[in-house]
A = this chain, B = another copy of it.
């Protein structure tokens, strides 16, 4: 049995990161080290970093900042003690001039002394909270990726970055919509409360069954689609803004931190 296949919900964050570092874990991190915060990564040259920090500050729902590294540092004690940012994610994406050019297993060879790492909250944390509260999350029940959509909602331009909001969608019946809003409100650092519910056309989504990223899921007649700001937004913004060089995690292949999910609850 490989180290990767022996990883599961009970694995420690350290074990997951070590498996990624050793090249044994190459797949998505969903379901691993349950109860610990997984984060989106955006890694930019220092010349772009101050602008991106302003962009995140201006758009906290899609870009909730959990931590920012010192320039050149491959560690970040706010996330984990034994972290190697360049190797502890199962898969990375490289961007050049606004295009995602490569997906690689580590970025040690791409590392530069001026790179600044941004760790952004991820919906896995609030999905865990929804499930702990007894709600069923459709794409998890159906074994799919969450459906995600580009919207007509313009982000606040800042620091040279701009673009439109990307949202994820989870359907619930009315009583669970109310519960889901209450529960996710407690987690502003992982996208927080939804940004929209009901008619998808009002935010520029023409076809609920044809998501721009992820997989479609079924929506029953008595259910309401609920839309949250999504961590894919910053990746789309890097492309739309034509940034000269950037690294991100590959979608679904997150950095597993040592932060317990419960530490991100407001109350």
Contacts and interface: CB of A to CB of B under 8 A. Distances in A.
Given A174-B196, A199-B222, 5 more contacts: A174-B197, A174-B202, A178-B195, A202-B222, A267-B267
A182 B193 contact: yes
A197 B224 contact: yes
A90 interface: no
A198 B222 CA distance: 9
A1 interface: no
A16 interface: no
Contacts of A177: 197-198
What is the copy number of this chain in the assembly?
Answer: 2
A194 interface: yes
A243 interface: no
Nearest to A199: B222
A181 interface: yes
Interface residues of A, number: 18
A56 B249 CA distance: 52
A165 to B, nearest CB: 13
A197 B222 contact: no
A195 B194 CA distance: 18
- Chain A binding surface SS class: mixed
B198 A224 contact: yes
26 contacts: A174-B196, A174-B197, A174-B198, A174-B199, A174-B202, A175-B195, A175-B196, A177-B197, A177-B198, A178-B181, A178-B193, A178-B194, A178-B195, A178-B197, A181-B181, A181-B182, A182-B182, A182-B185, A182-B193, A185-B185, A197-B224, A198-B198, A198-B224, A199-B222, A202-B222, A267-B267
Contacts of A224: 197-198
A197 B185 CA distance: 18
Contacts of A198: 174, 177, 198, 224
Interface string A101-126: 00000000000000000000000000
Interface in A218-239: 222, 224
A196 B202 CA distance: 21
A41 to B, nearest CB: 28
Interface in A192-218: 193-199, 202
Nearest to A182: B185
A267 B185 CA distance: 13
